[in-house]
Amino acid sequence: MANVFHLNISSQEKTIYDANVVSLIVPAESGYMGVLANHAPLIASLVPGKVTIKEESGDLNTIDLSSEGFLEVLKNNVTVLLT
């Protein structure tokens, strides 16, 4: 079994995604960045673009972000807040 972490993607109106995942690629201000389990603590500003999520099952899921937001990585919990 691959190492997993919890991912929550939320906007002001609703929760868009909430599950355990294997990896995450997000569009940050400085370019696309990846997150795996046990990643160092991090806060980053996000820009509109494509989010790629690798789920526990191995399936890839993509979400198109049309707004900016923030990413927080802390203790195998990743939170994406969209503005």
The 10s digit of each residue's pLDDT in 40-67 is 999 999 999 999 999 999 999 999 999 9
Phi first, then psi, for residue 13 (nearest 5°) are -90, -35
List the domain range (segments joined by +) for residue 74: 5-82
pTM for the full predicted model: 0.94
Report which residue type is found at 49: G
CATH number of the domain to which 9 belongs: 2.60.15.10
- Strand pairing partners for 29? none
Give me the number of domains the chain comprises. 1
**1 pLDDT above the threshold of 60:** no
Tokens (6 digits) for 5: 């972490």
